[in-house]
Structure 1
């Protein structure tokens, strides 16, 4: 499996997560392009044994595997990716998605004190070609969202546009389908699958980072591929369901053991 590499922006020093195989990356904040040398050209760390010093202090006691890390700070950094796609002049055109994105940006800045420069907007109205909601740009935005996040940080991903699904072939979906997001160029470049979204913005999160995802699209209930679903009725009562196939089989097997 390819390993993701973190590099600092050559201009603003923001940590950037380099996709596998990429030799350069453009910063979503300052737009500077950072070129990266071939990682294979970097010599591996020496494997020679280090000399042992008899005066070295004894190793500290290792923490228990059940010991919880310290609670995160309640005031961390804030960062958001907001994507609104109207698919103008196509048979898939939607009304209101760009307005949704603008309203969300206004809400984050004026209600939740997000710094304006910490919000990355992707809509067809953007003049920067790197902020048009193509598949490549949306992928890069999701990478940027989680780069360098630390305990206490608050992240938000808002998407308003088309969603769909496609046949799942690895057996990790209860209904046999992967949920997808449809970027502006999905008819030529393809959709973004829930497995990729989970691997990009869910699994890399360290303990103590909070991520809110607001997905206004068809088939969006499981588009982050989380292990549980939460359904709320009209009176506010919540019910949690296992979503992954192996979790369903485990839950269903419990009554058979008694």
Structure 2
């Protein structure tokens, strides 16, 4: 019998070709029973007819979840329908609109585990909804929070979600990419980095699947930005300074934009839109995951200070935002009430760094108001 479709096991992602009248198969890898065709929306596998066989199943998930009025963390990651009607808030034909992707990677059960990333995601989601009026159903969340049933921040899931973020965007749209997790860097062999290193973010499975490079992030969410679309990336990770490979980096000391265009003349600009990135530190610096600001709850330093500053300073400009964040960091680093041993314990022998602002084009940071 000729196969007429395919099915993907949602537990191990193994793909199978299936016969026309098949009703159920058993995954040979993880032994999960997979209903075929007509299965409920909570089935362990999802059937795709031949007309959609070239579309990644995880892409269909994000696309259809965006059209649905569901929470950003469904109770069951496989709970979705391919026959949903688009809501007005999430319709690809309605502009302007807001859309956000929030990734928090904890690296559970690893020696390099981070304790504050889910708190960071929750803070960012709260800020987007309360301060900037993002519809909750237009916010996608990737974390390892199994209790909330969230989608795990694997390399594949992050890559697919990044494509979802910019898909169908149009004039007036505001997009946000937030990442809290580990960041690394590696030698740049394409000669498009001034410092000779590519910056990366680390998905939960980066040891097996690899990191996501700044080149890929740029080509996925920066290059496609059309005129009238604004993207903000907020990256709370080490070595995150130019993680979007944007062409201009703001120098807070000299109050000018430094040229960050690649020596190789590789194209890094948008397609007419505006991309702005706020990173936790410079490319050669380390970020902090700490409880120093709350006394108990762990959080990324950038996320906590940004959340607190924006919450208490409505209508703040980018320039004032950078200055106020710098003042908080300086007071924290120089706090004489803390012993040097305690500081070393909290920061693991390093200071909290100033955040870095980069953009696809220069703008007046003293007059332009911060808005997501």
TM-score normalised by the shorter chain: which range applies?
0.5 to 0.7
Q: Match for residue 246 of structure 1?
A: 263
Structure 1 residue 188, shift from structure 2 partner: 0.4
Q: Match for residue 90 of structure 1?
A: 110
Select which of 193, 198, 211 maps to 1:173: 193
1:105 and 2:122 matched: no
Select which of 138, 148, 154 maps to 1:134: 154
Per-residue CA deviations over 1:157-192 (Å, capped at 9, x if unaligned) read: 111100001111111111111100000000000000
Superposed, 1:1-258 pairs within 5 Å as 22=55, 24=57, 25-28=59-62, 29=65, 30=68, 31-32=80-81, 76-126=96-146, 131-233=151-253, 238-246=255-263
Specify whether residues 154 and 200 from structure 1 end up closer, same or farther in structure 2 by C-alpha distance, changes over 3 A only: same
Structure 1 residue 155, shift from structure 2 partner: 0.4
Taking the aligned partners of 2:231 and 2:156, their CA distance within structure 1 comes to 22
Q: How many residues align?
A: 186
Specify whether residues 153 and 84 from structure 1 end up closer, same or farther in structure 2 by C-alpha distance, changes over 3 A only: same
5+ long unaligned stretches in structure 2: 1-53, 69-79, 84-94, 266-372
Structure 1 residue 232, shift from structure 2 partner: 1.8
Per-residue CA deviations over 1:18-40 (Å, capped at 9, x if unaligned) read: xxx64553232154469xxxxxx
Where 2:263 maps in the other structure, the secondary structure is: helix
Give the TM-score, by structure 2 length.
0.47
Structure 1 residue 244, shift from structure 2 partner: 2.5
Q: RCO (CA 8 Å, sep 6+): is it higher in 1 or 2? A: 1
Structure 1 residue 224, shift from structure 2 partner: 0.1
Structure 1 residue 240, shift from structure 2 partner: 1.0
RMSD, aligned α-carbons? 2.3
5+ long unaligned stretches in structure 1: 1-20, 35-74, 249-258
